Every structure is written in C-alpha cells, then in structure tokens.
Amino acid sequence: MNVLHIYPKFPDTFWSFTYALSFIGKKAAFPPLGLLTVASLLPEKWSKRLVDVNVNPLTDKDLLWADMAFVGGMAIQRKSARQIIARCLAMNLKVVAGGPLFTSEPEEYPEVDHLVLDEAEITLPLFLIDLENGNPQKIYRASGFCDLSATPKPMWNLIKTKKYASVNVQFSRGCPFDCEFCNVTTLFGHRPRLKTGQQVIGELDQIYASGWRGSIFFVDDNFIGNKGFLKTQLLPALIEWRKNKKGCIFFTEASINLADDPVLLDMMVAAGFDSVFIGIESPDEVSLTECHKTQNKNRDLLESVGIIQRSGLQVMGGFIVGFDSDGPSIFQRQIDFIQKSGIVTAMVGMLQAPPGTRLFDRLKRESRVMDIFSGDNVDGTTNIIPQMGMDKLLAGYQSIMKHIYAPKHYYQRVRTLLKELKVPQINHPINFQRFLSIFRSAFRLGILGKERFQYWQLICWTLVRRPRLLPVAITLAIYGRHYRKICDLYIL
C-alpha cells in the first residue's frame, strides 16, 4: 500500500509568518506534526510519503504514486483541503480525512471516502482492521480519549526539517479550564493527558539526532495543565537533557496562572523556554466572567504579564473583542493594555464561535450564528452576530489593529518589553541563515522600510541599553513587518 499524506496550505495569517520566513530562508513556520504521527500509526510495511503544500507543490506524479491519500488539517486550511480532495477524487484516489477540521464539521465533506475522526490513536486502528477485512466504513468516531503514553514517535524522516522555522513536540492534550469560546476541551477533554518524560526526551533525541538546532514548539494548548508532573518529571528531564545539547530553544502555550508559581517559571527558563503564548482575552472583568475565563479574573493582569517577562519568558498574547458585555470603551482599553504590557505579539481577534463549543450552542439557540467558522480570528471576520452590531465591532477592531501595528506604537512595545525582559539563559544558535537575517533586516527594514527610523532607533537603543537582547530586537522587528503586511491585507 502506497500512502500519500497531504497537508493543506495555510493562508497568509498572523501565525503563518509568511512575510518573516524569507529573512531566515525558510518555507513554512511549522511541520505537520499530526500527519507525521498518523504515519507512524500505519503498518510498517506500507510505503509512505508526505507532501506539505506549504513547502512543496502537490504534483500529479505524487497522486499517481499513491493508492490512498490521507488529508489532515485545521479549519483555517479548509479552502486548500477542498482543492486537494477534489484533485484526489478526480484521479480516482481514495481519500481518508481526519484532524480538527474534519472532526468539527464532518457533514461538510460527503465526497470524502473515509472520515477517521477524533484522536487517531483510537479510530485509525479500527479503520485499518476494517480495511484489511475489505469492509472500511464511511466514518469512525471515538467515544473517549486516548492514552498518550502509547502514542508513537512522529516519522520525522518524511520531511526535510531545514525548510521549517521551527519543529514541534506534543507533551499533553486537554485543558482543565472551561472557556466558553474554546474548542480545545471539545476535541481533547478537560483532564490533561500526558506523555511520559521518557517519551518526550525520546522525541527530542530523535529531532536532535536529525541535526536540528533551532526552536521547538510544545504545541500543548495549556502546557501547565498538570504543574505537579511538570515540576517533578518533565522539566527536570528537560534540564538534564540540555546539559549535553547545544541550541534548541523551547516555546509553548500556557494560562496566566503561570505567573503565580515562581518555581515553575524558574524551571521553565532553566529548561530552555524563552517565550509563551497566553490567552489574555480582555482587561474587562465582566467580559472574562461572561466567557468563563476564571483563571484571568481577580488579578492584576498587567502585573502577571510583568512577572512572567521578568522571569525571562516573553509573553505573546491573545485578545478578543465582541463579547456581549463589551461596550464602546473596550477598544481603547485593549489598546492601552497591550501598549502598557509590552506584549509585542498581540493577536487581537473578533469573537468567533467554533462548532462544538458552548458559545456556538448558545448563539445558535439565539439565531446569532451566521457564517462558517474561518479558524482565523485575526482576518477581520466573525461567524456571529455581535451584540454591539457588526459595523461598530468591525470599526473598533480596525482601530485597535491600526494603532498597535503602526510602526511607532509597535516599536514602543518592543522597547517596553526589552526594558523588562530578563536576558535568556540560553540563546538561539547563530547559523548561516540567522546571520544573513541581520543584514536582510538592516536592508529591508532599515533602508527600504517605511519603519526605518523606528528600526534604527530600536537597534541603537538596544545596543546601548540591552546589548544581549539585540537578537530579540531584530527578530521582533522582522515579525513587525509580517504583522503589518497581514493588517494591510485583511484589515486596514
């Protein structure tokens, strides 16, 4: 059996980093970890290939080689996924589809031969048994959640990691919190399920042995969902692993209560983490109550962000406008919070309701769900009818984005961050492409860019005040160009 794994294309969005990748000579931000893991669950005797269309084009030769195509992705990849499926079916190639996109809306894909949904560790073996017996079903669903300790290592040999800006590892699935708008718990449950420390180290060894010496993203939706295991098992193992390894900086996603645990913060920094994405959502307590973001309530959010950044972890933040309780003042309040916090990477989106969430169900009952969920909450769209009215929400949203990503205000935030950020204990290794990125940024941003005044002002300030953070300053300047391009494309 020849199986072709196909990963659909991401549109240009904040997290695609399309306009930043050329500075470091990369094709895509992250490899398709889900499909690499699915490949390892298939029979060893099968021949397997993978085409990530974010990196390489999908050719007819690829499709002619295959007996079956496995397609997986997220909602934001919907358009490309449909095009890929159509090409496969036009060449009489059987299609097996799975992952968050198809799990959330299986009824939208009647043309797909087999929908292997939910967690592949449970449903894929059932499909393989039926396939061997000559009776594969149309759809496979799981009634529970898998044991991650049995999940095999991804098949990294199917891709060329050097084409990616970062590689990824998964330690846990699930989140203990219950945010109304989030589909993580719908897909993976409330109880965080964990891989063993030995599993994670084994995956890191495999990645390191391949020659990788760059960023590694722990893709967990809440890395600190089980703090006890982190402090007693995983982080000590990562600290020990790092003693004999050079390079490899980690980053992840976590909840704001990370700020409440100085021991955990120190251990994460010692293990090699340098940044963390946190869902701030709103500075308004009423809005946080509305969406059940209880972990963000009854705290000084600015101080919590400051604690994390002073520990040595740069905070990237998610923000939402369009809650029912949001009034006209929310837009300026969001701007003020973002600027004061020094959160340079501020992903601000209008509230959306992913299928399967309690928010979706509530608004569906109120006849306020109108469009399909795009999966991209920074493209200036929403699939709900907001309480304040669409025109007011869109105008307020655009005012936020126009302000925070204007060069003057963006570079102000970079300086605010650099004033507060503790110098990382472990730095990104300087390879040839990163060395070239210094000159590329100086030319494209410092000479050709409309932000050239702010760019050189930042570089000079950093050299004088925080010289060891110069790589961070250059990286954030490059990111700023990407964010502004996205704003120009979708929003402004």
At residue 179, does pLDDT exceed 70?
Answer: yes
Domain 2-140 has CATH 3.40.50: yes
Per-residue CA distances from 292 to 221, 267, 391, 419, 443 (Å): 17, 29, 26, 33, 46
Q: Judge if 2-140 and 165-420 fold alike in CATH terms.
A: no
Structure tokens at 387: 């309480």
Average confidence score pLDDT of the chain: 95
Exposed, middle or buried by CB within 10 Å (0-12, 13-18, 19+), for 273?
buried
For 365, counting Cβ atoms within 10 Å of its Cβ (0-12 exposed, 13-18 middle, 19+ buried), the class is: exposed
Is the predicted pLDDT of residue 375 greater than 90, yes or no? Answer: no
Give the per-residue pLDDT at 354: 94
Residue ranges per structural domain of the chain: 2-140, 165-420, 432-490
- Beta strands at 172-173 and 193-194: parallel, antiparallel or unpaired: antiparallel
How many secondary structure helices (H) and strands (E) does the chain include?
20, 14
pTM: 0.95
- How far apart, in whole angstroms, are the C-alpha atoms of residue 410 and residue 339? 8
Per cent of the chain over pLDDT 90 is: 91
CA-to-CA separations, 18 to 21, 260, 350, in angstroms, rounded: 6, 35, 22
For the stretch 139-164, pLDDT in tens is 999 999 999 999 999 999 999 999 99
Among residues 360, 347, 351, 225, the alpha carbon closest in space to that of 287 is found at: 351
Q: Are the CB atoms for 69 and 6 separated by under 8 Å? A: yes
Torsion of CA 464, 470, 472, 477, to 10 degrees: 90
Average pLDDT of span 275-285:
98
pLDDT of residue 380: 81
Task: Check residue 43 and give its pLDDT.
Answer: 98
Single-letter amino acid code for the residue at 392: K
> What pLDDT, on the 0 to 100 scale, is given for residue 329?
97
Label residue 492 by pLDDT band (50, 70, 90). Answer: low
pLDDT at residue 425 greater than cutoff 90: no
Q: What is the pLDDT of residues 70-91, one digit of tens each?
A: 999 999 999 999 999 999 999 9
Q: What is the pLDDT of residues 182-202, one digit of tens each?
A: 999 889 998 999 999 999 999
Structure confidence by residue, pLDDT tens digits, 343-374 = 999 999 999 999 999 999 999 999 999 988 88
Q: What is the pLDDT of residues 22-52, one digit of tens each?
A: 999 999 999 999 999 999 999 999 999 999 9
Task: Please tell me the CATH code under which domain 165-420 is placed.
Answer: 3.20.20.70
Q: What is the DSSP string of 240-253?
A: HHHTT----EEEEE
Return the higher-pLDDT residue of 477 and 356.
Answer: 477
Residue 15 has pLDDT above 70, yes or no: yes
Asked if residue 426 has pLDDT above 90, the reply is: no
Instruction: Assess whether pLDDT exceeds 90 at residue 105.
Output: yes
Please say if the pLDDT value at position 377 is more than 80.
Answer: no
The answer to whether the beta carbons of residues 235 and 250 sit under 8 Å apart is no
